[in-house]
Amino acid sequence: MMLKYLKKYWFFALLAPLFMIGEVLMDLFQPGMMSTIVDEGVLGLSNGGVGDLNLVVVEGVKMIGVVFLGGVFGVLCGVCTNIASQNFGNDMRKDCFQKIMTLSLEQTDQFSTGSLITRVTNDITQVQNMVAQCIRGFIRMMMFFVGGIFFMIQLDLSFGVVVLCALPLVMVTVIFFISKVTPLYGKLQKKLDRVNSVMQENVTGVRVVKAYVKEDYEEKRFFDANDELVGTQLRVLVLLSYMMPIMNIIMNVAVVAVIYVGAIQVKAGDVTPGNVMAAITYLSQILNSVMMLAMLFQTVSRGTASMKRINEVLTCTPVIVNGEEETTQPETERGSVEFRSVSFSYPQAKGDAVLKDISVKIRAGETFAILGATGCGKSSLVNLIPRFYDVTGGQVLVDGKDVRDYDLEELRGKVSIALQQSELFSKTIKENIAWGNPDATDEEIRKAARIAQAEEFILKQPDGYDTIVAEKGMSLSGGQKQRIAISRAVIKHAEILIFDDSTSALDLKTEANLYQALKESYPNVTKIIIAQRIASVKNADRIAVLDNGRIADCGTHEELLKRSEIYRDIYTSQLKQGGEIHE
């Protein structure tokens, strides 16, 4: 998976290790130069004990040059690494988001919003860090490890014995702690999912939380989720905190051993004091490389856990996919909807089907209303038209074709929906309306607003159509949000216009004006209206009464009053409640 995304940036991914090799080589040359300065420039071992200041200056200048060159290589390595890793993360994040956009509603529900946010943000960051470490840290570690051992043995074989004794202890320590930490990273990301989910729910439902005075309860819920996250994080950090001191102890004992062996060798005349100093530096580089390996394993362990979670999204096959049949239809069919023996159950839901054996045809240009008690399946029925879900039995046809045979973009281009829960974006009112049709002119935007009975309150806003809407539409009332959402649906110029209880916050007069304006402006558009109030649907061409997932009756307002007991009961109850039904 990583190679797929790194392939585009192979040039930088290749240059970074090469520059790192140059940087490490400069570091490996320095102890030898320091040894020369000490032995020849300071102690003058080859000159009868007389130091050579000129040699100190010359070698010192060389060392400065080597350090500078190593710094240049390090900077170039860092630049190339960041270009490769950041672009890698950018491409993966985009692909992940694109994949999420193709998933059906049931699949996004299975992942949960908080988890998807974590995967697109934190998980990809962890994988991005892993890539950067693999490109840069792995080469650095290997070069110090192999190069340090090589140069150290070059000084004296006895120093190699110290390394061979220290390395197994360090490796055992690293393997033990990494094996303990690795399983915790998957749990850590799930705890982070939980924190994000609770946070997202509370930000979205802040009004409900305040209305029910549940701040303390939600604070406790967030604190519990956060405490679980911190607890898991602490378990990881505590384990790692044991590892570093143990490795430092091993490293310092090894340094003492090198000094001790060096002292013996210096007395015997086999090595020089400068060689001992160089050996200590090389030993530090070798053991530090093993510590780098430990940190690399830690990063790779966490990155691998995150990579698995990202793969779950990237490899998830969308349940709702494009059809393969040709869908071009004659003009006479445009706008018709038909349900043939439709049954539907929500995925993984238990119990009876939500919809059972529904058969009805909605003619092109017709105003068709769906009425029924809460939970009877009204919204579920219209969600089948744009294929938010697929039927579990029967067929849904648009323009005479099964919706499963359509290209999804083509199908959903035929349908425009205004929901009861109006989703607005942190943009201007004009941009929110034009979201339904990005190519709309200012006049078309104003016309859509007038049809939705929204222009009056829009013009009263501080900047009119250019007024910024607060996040989630918090700066507007429920009725104002619904009218902007209706404007957005209207401006799409779709063949089929669905109002899913999207006028529930409007008064009856405003609602009547809206439907009258729609009838006059879009007489040929098929309108499907879901409502709880008979006053909202009584002027429709036909009204379907939905009861317990079945169509109990279908007809005009007058016909249903005569023959449908359910309809009469709803009519009578609403009449008694407020007399809001006007003939």
What pLDDT is stored for residue 137 in this prediction? 82
What pLDDT is stored for residue 113 in this prediction? 79
Retrieve residue 346's tokens: 């929500």
At residue 45 the predicted structure's pLDDT band, cuts being 50, 70 and 90, is low
- What DSSP letter does each residue of 137-167 carry, written as one string? IHHHHHHHHHHHHHHHHHH-HHHHHHHHHHH
Residue 570 lies in a domain: no
CB neighbour class for 392 (10 Å; exposed up to 12, middle 13-18, buried from 19): middle
At residue 340 the predicted structure's pLDDT band, cuts being 50, 70 and 90, is very high
pLDDT at 184 over 80: yes
**Are 118 and 200 spatial neighbours (Cβ–Cβ below 8 Å)?**
no
**Are 392 and 344 spatial neighbours (Cβ–Cβ below 8 Å)?**
yes
End-to-end alpha carbon distance in the chain? 65
pTM greater than 0.95: no
| CATH classification of the domain holding 268 | 1.20.1560.10
**Are 411 and 337 spatial neighbours (Cβ–Cβ below 8 Å)?**
no
E strand or H helix at 362, and its extent? strand 355-362
Residue 46 lies in a domain: yes
At residue 166 the predicted structure's pLDDT band, cuts being 50, 70 and 90, is confident
The CA angle 159-162-163, to the nearest 5 degrees, is 90
The edge-to-edge listing of strands for the beta sheet with 337-344 is 355-362, 337-344, 393-398, 401-402
What pLDDT is stored for residue 534 in this prediction? 85
Residue 325 lies in a domain: no
E strand or H helix at 367, and its extent? strand 367-372
What pLDDT is stored for residue 116 in this prediction? 87
Residue 323 lies in a domain: no
Percent residues over pLDDT 70 in the chain: 95
Taking residue 284's Cβ as centre, other Cβ atoms within 10 Å add up to 18
What pLDDT is stored for residue 192 in this prediction? 85
Comparing 76 with 212, the larger pLDDT belongs to: 76
Reference 373, options 534, 502, 582; nearest CA is 534
What pLDDT is stored for residue 257 in this prediction? 84
Q: Is 500 left (phi over 0), alpha (psi -120 to 50) or beta?
A: beta
pLDDT at 207 over 70: no
Which residues neighbour 316 within 8 Å (Cβ) at sequence distance 6 or greater?
Answer: 99, 103, 107
What pLDDT is stored for residue 582 in this prediction? 47
Q: What's the average model confidence in pLDDT over 415-432?
A: 84
d(CA 301, CA 306): 9
At residue 361 the predicted structure's pLDDT band, cuts being 50, 70 and 90, is very high
Retrieve residue 323's tokens: 């059809």
What pLDDT is stored for residue 331 in this prediction? 47
What pLDDT is stored for residue 368 in this prediction? 93
Residues 244-285 pLDDT 10s = 788 778 878 888 888 888 888 777 777 778 778 888 887 787
In 424-581, where do the E strands start and end? 496-500, 526-531, 542-547, 550-555
Residue 214 lies in a domain: yes
**Are 293 and 134 spatial neighbours (Cβ–Cβ below 8 Å)?**
no
**Are 105 and 63 spatial neighbours (Cβ–Cβ below 8 Å)?**
no
Residues 362-392 pLDDT 10s = 999 899 999 988 778 888 899 999 988 889 9
**What Cα–Cα distance (Å) separates residue 378 from each residue in 108, 340, 385, 531, 561?**
22, 16, 12, 9, 20
Query: How, if at all, do strands 401-402 and 526-531 pair?
Result: unpaired
Residue 294 lies in a domain: yes
Retrieve residue 312's tokens: 């779950």
Highest average pLDDT, of 122-126, 133-137, 183-187, comes from 122-126
Name residue, tokens 């005075």.
213
What pLDDT is stored for residue 373 in this prediction? 81
d(CA 503, CA 483): 8
Taking residue 352's Cβ as centre, other Cβ atoms within 10 Å add up to 10
What is the radius of gyration, based on Cα positions, of the chain? 36
Residue 468 lies in a domain: no
pLDDT at 498 over 70: yes
- Mean pLDDT, all residues of the chain: 84
What does residue 77 show for φ and ψ, rounded to 5 degrees? -65, -45
What pLDDT is stored for residue 374 in this prediction? 79
What pLDDT is stored for residue 90 in this prediction? 92
What pLDDT is stored for residue 496 in this prediction? 92
Retrieve residue 235's tokens: 């378990």
Residues 539-578 pLDDT 10s = 889 999 998 889 988 999 898 888 888 888 888 887 765 5
In the chain, how many domains are there?
Answer: 1
What pLDDT is stored for residue 261 in this prediction? 81
Q: Domain of residue 113: give its range.
A: 2-314
At residue 27 the predicted structure's pLDDT band, cuts being 50, 70 and 90, is confident
Residue 29 lies in a domain: yes
d(CA 151, CA 136): 22
